[in-house]
Amino acid sequence: MNRVFNVSELNSRIRERLTTDLRLCDLWARGELSNVVNHRSGHRYFTLKDGDSQISCVLFRGHSGGLDFELENGQNVLVFGDVEFYRPRGQVQILVKAARRDSGLGGKYLELEMLKERLAVEGLFDAERKRSIPAYPACIGVVTSPDGAALRDVLRVLGSCPARIVISPASVQGESAPESIASAISALQGTADVIIVGRGGGSAEDLSPFNSEVVARAIYMSRSPIVSAVGHETDVTVADFVADVRAPTPSAAAEMVRPDVEGLRANLEEIEGRMRRSLSASLERRREKFLDLGRTLSARRMRGIVSEQRQSLDRMTDRLVSAEDRRIDLLSGRLELAAGKLDSLSPLLTLKRGYCIALTDRGLA
């Protein structure tokens, strides 16, 4: 049976082999800088990469004195040093003894800058198109890895938020990540009122999917406002420029979109208080008006009003009777006049004056 190594023994064996290979000592390596960290101890940590590979590097404080420039992401550099194997983490790295500028900027850096410039010209970064986050979203969408710490942070902050939380899972690292993120954003259209897109911290290479044109255009085409939450506060990606709002971390993004329930409760209590005061004032005014009306309609005043109305009724009755008597007299006079005219034309009146008619036995004149 072959010997079984524990991890420490295996790493020690690898380190021994690497450090005894003279071809890996005092060598020059060319590449593009990324993930540059100037530690407070004076040491410099960075990644050296090209189009296909990358390797970690460390420049200790004792060798930093010979630098005549500041290390910055995107620079092309030549580094001189030894290949080392960091046994506790099982990581191959270059112990840099010296570094100097190489010509121009790195290809990846230039590609990123050209993409930013092109998207800016097309208007994807314009402040005028950015939308505000709804104050009380009914549905909050989250685009991130279902296994990452970012999702746990977002869900922890949202807590008992009354809004519905919809998780649209996506791969946030690797070659397929840009298409996965874009598809996850598209899946939330028409469902979420606001969408958080992001992931936890990582190296510049880990965050590179959020620097892709595919993700930028998916954010731009979203009908719902997008909050980008990529990495830490110092990490800035293309997605941050296109998004409606940038949050420094996923937790901060959750704070931004979470409805302010306490503020809403305070507003409702204030409105209720104003309604109560308004209703109380209205009831008090009506009570005073009722009391005034009661004082106005006292028994004595009511008797006076009834007495006045009775006297007025008596006067109206007298006038009505007098008018009716006059009308009867007028009509009686007209009747007598008409009767006199009728009598003057009657044959009976002629007979009364002595005229007669002689008739035969048969009743003939």
pLDDT band at 146 (very low <50, low <70, confident <90, very high): very high
> Does 98 score more than 70 pLDDT?
yes
Q: Residue 202 has which token pair? A: 């990582």
If you compute the radius of gyration of the chain from its CA atoms, what whole number of angstroms results?
52
Residue scoring higher pLDDT (110 or 165): 165
| Nearest residue to 238 (alpha-carbon basis) of 119, 339, 354 | 119
Q: Tell me the pLDDT of the chain averaged across its residues.
A: 86
Residue scoring higher pLDDT (105 or 295): 295
> Does 350 score more than 80 pLDDT?
no
> Does 252 score more than 60 pLDDT?
yes
> Does 365 score more than 60 pLDDT?
no
**Tens digit of pLDDT for each residue in 307-345?**
888 888 888 888 888 888 888 888 888 888 887 777 777
Q: What is the pTM of this model?
A: 0.56
Mean pLDDT over 276-293 rounds to 87
> Does 349 score more than 80 pLDDT?
no
> Does 179 score more than 70 pLDDT?
yes
pLDDT band at 46 (very low <50, low <70, confident <90, very high): very high
Q: How many CB atoms lie within 10 A of CB 258?
A: 18
Which residues, listed in sequence order, are joined to residue 141 by a DSSP beta bridge? Answer: 166, 195
The pair phi, psi for residue 133, each rounded to 5°, is -80, 130
44 touches 37 (CB < 8 A) = yes
**Tens digit of pLDDT for each residue in 237-250?**
999 999 999 999 99
**Tens digit of pLDDT for each residue in 16-34?**
888 788 888 888 888 889 8
The pair phi, psi for residue 205, each rounded to 5°, is -70, -35
pLDDT band at 186 (very low <50, low <70, confident <90, very high): very high
> Does 129 score more than 80 pLDDT?
yes
Q: How far apart are CA 86 and CA 94, in angstroms?
A: 10
Mean pLDDT over 270-290 rounds to 89
Which letter, b or e, does each residue of 130-159 get, where b requires 16 or more Cβ atoms within 10 Å of its Cβ?
Answer: eeebeeebeebbbbbbeebebbebbeebbe
* Record: fold of 111-259: Rossmann fold (3.40.50)
Mean pLDDT over 299-312 rounds to 77
Amino acid, single-letter form, for residue 119 = L
**Tens digit of pLDDT for each residue in 204-237?**
778 889 999 999 999 999 999 999 999 887 778 9
> Does 351 score more than 70 pLDDT?
no
**Tens digit of pLDDT for each residue in 56-88?**
999 998 888 778 888 888 888 888 989 999 888
Q: How far apart are CA 183 and CA 187, in angstroms?
A: 6
Is the fold of 7-105 the same as that of 111-259?
A: no
- Domain ranges in the chain are 7-105, 111-259, 299-352
Which residues, listed in sequence order, are joined to residue 58 by a DSSP beta bridge? Answer: 45, 95
Query: What local confidence, expressed as pLDDT, does residue 355 receive?
Result: 63
Q: Which CATH architecture has domain 7-105?
A: Beta Barrel (2.40)
Mean pLDDT over 156-176 rounds to 89
Query: What local confidence, expressed as pLDDT, does residue 89 receive?
Result: 87
> Does 1 score more than 60 pLDDT?
no
Residues 246, 248, 254, 257, CA torsion sign: negative
Query: What local confidence, expressed as pLDDT, does residue 266 receive?
Result: 82
Q: How far apart are CA 266 and CA 263, in angstroms?
A: 5
> Does 172 score more than 70 pLDDT?
yes
> Does 120 score more than 70 pLDDT?
yes
Distances (CA, A) of 7 to 4, 10, 13, 209, 237: 10, 5, 10, 33, 37
